[in-house]
Chain A
Amino acid sequence: MAELMIQVENLTKTFGLTRAVDDVTFNVRKGEVLGFLGPNGAGKSTTMKVLTCFLAPTAGRAKVAGFDVFDDSLEVRKRLGYLPEDTPLYKDMSVLEYLQFAAAMRGMTSGDSGKRIKEVGGRCGLHEVAGKLIGELSRGYRQRVGLAQAMLDNPDILILDEPTSGLDPNQIVEIRQLIKEVGKEKTVILSTHILPEVQATCSRILIISNGKLVADGTPDELRGREKGSRYRVVVAANGTKQEAVKARLAGLKGVSRCETALGEEGAHTFTLDAAGDEDLRKLLFRAAVDNNWILLELHREAASLETVFRNLTTGEETKS
Chain B
Amino acid sequence: MNAALTIAKREIRTYFNSPIAYIVVTVFMLLAGYLFFGSLFIERQADLRSYFNFQPMLFSFIVPAIAMRLIAEEKGGGTLEMLVTMPVRDWQIVTGKFLAGMTVLATLVGLTVLYAVTVALLGPLDRGPAIGGYLGLLLMGGAYMAIGVMASSFTRNQIIAFIIAFAISFALFLFQHLIQIAPQVLRPVLSYLSIEAHFESISRGIIDTRDVIYYLSVMVVSLVIATVSLESRKWK
Residues of A within 8 A of B (CB): 49, 52-59, 70, 74, 77-78, 80, 82, 84, 86, 88-90, 92-93, 97, 101-102, 104-107, 149
**How far apart are the CA atoms of A26 and B55 in the complex, in Å?**
59
Partner of A88, one of B6, B10, B82, B236: B82
Determine the main DSSP class of A at the interface with B. Answer: loop
Q: Which residue of B lies closest to A50 (CB)?
A: B234
Does A57 contact B3, Cβ atoms closer than 8 Å?
no
Partner of A77, one of B13, B85, B235: B85
Q: Knowing A54-B233, A82-B85 touch, does A107 contact B2 (C-beta < 8 A)?
A: yes
Residues of B within 8 A of A (CB): 2-3, 6-7, 10, 13-14, 17-18, 77-89, 233-236
Does B236 contact A90, Cβ atoms closer than 8 Å?
no
Smallest CB separation, A1 vs chain B (Å) = 29
**How far apart are the CA atoms of A106 and B86 in the complex, in Å?**
7
Offer 5 A-B interface pairs, CB within 8 angstroms, sorted by A.
A52-B85, A88-B78, A88-B80, A90-B79, A92-B17
Q: Knowing A74-B89, A104-B6, A107-B3 touch, does A54 contact B235 (C-beta < 8 A)?
A: no
Q: Knowing A89-B79, A104-B6 touch, does A56 contact B234 (C-beta < 8 A)?
A: yes
**How far apart are the CA atoms of A78 and B88 in the complex, in Å?**
9
Neighbouring B residues of A92 by C-beta, 8 Å: 14, 17-18
Neighbouring B residues of A74 by C-beta, 8 Å: 87, 89
Q: Knowing A54-B233, A55-B233 touch, does A105 contact B88 (C-beta < 8 A)?
A: yes
Smallest CB separation, A98 vs chain B (Å) = 9
Does B85 contact A84, Cβ atoms closer than 8 Å?
yes
**How far apart are the CA atoms of A7 and B35 in the complex, in Å?**
64
**How far apart are the CA atoms of A84 and B17 in the complex, in Å?**
26
Smallest CB separation, A83 vs chain B (Å) = 9
Smallest CB separation, A167 vs chain B (Å) = 19
**How far apart are the CA atoms of A293 and B84 in the complex, in Å?**
65
Q: Knowing A55-B234, A77-B87, A92-B14 touch, does A105 contact B3 (C-beta < 8 A)?
A: yes
Smallest CB separation, B6 vs chain A (Å) = 4
Q: Knowing A58-B236, A70-B234, A90-B14 touch, does A101 contact B82 (C-beta < 8 A)?
A: no
**How far apart are the CA atoms of A74 and B235 in the complex, in Å?**
17
Q: Knowing A74-B87, A106-B86 touch, does A56 contact B235 (C-beta < 8 A)?
A: yes
Does A90 contact B10, Cβ atoms closer than 8 Å?
yes
**How far apart are the CA atoms of A89 and B3 in the complex, in Å?**
18
Smallest CB separation, A105 vs chain B (Å) = 5
Neighbouring A residues of B87 by C-beta, 8 Å: 74, 77-78, 105-107
**How far apart are the CA atoms of A93 and B6 in the complex, in Å?**
14
Neighbouring A residues of B89 by C-beta, 8 Å: 74
Neighbouring A residues of B14 by C-beta, 8 Å: 90, 92
Q: Which residue of A lies closest to B234 (CB)?
A: A56
Smallest CB separation, B25 vs chain A (Å) = 18
Partner of B85, one of A70, A80, A89, A107: A80
Smallest CB separation, A100 vs chain B (Å) = 9
Q: Which residue of A lies closest to B81 (CB)?
A: A84
Smallest CB separation, B89 vs chain A (Å) = 7
Residue from the set B3, B85, B235 with the largest chain A CB neighbour count within 10 Å: B85
Neighbouring A residues of B234 by C-beta, 8 Å: 55-56, 70
Given contacts A93-B13, A105-B83, A107-B3, 17 further A-B contacts (CB under 8 A): A49-B81, A54-B84, A54-B85, A57-B236, A59-B236, A77-B86, A77-B88, A82-B85, A84-B78, A88-B80, A89-B79, A90-B79, A92-B18, A93-B10, A97-B13, A101-B6, A105-B3
Q: Which residue of A lies closest to B82 (CB)?
A: A88
Q: Which residue of B lies closest to A79 (CB)?
A: B87
**How far apart are the CA atoms of A102 and B86 in the complex, in Å?**
8
Q: Which residue of B lies closest to A56 (CB)?
A: B234
Does A88 contact B79, Cβ atoms closer than 8 Å?
yes
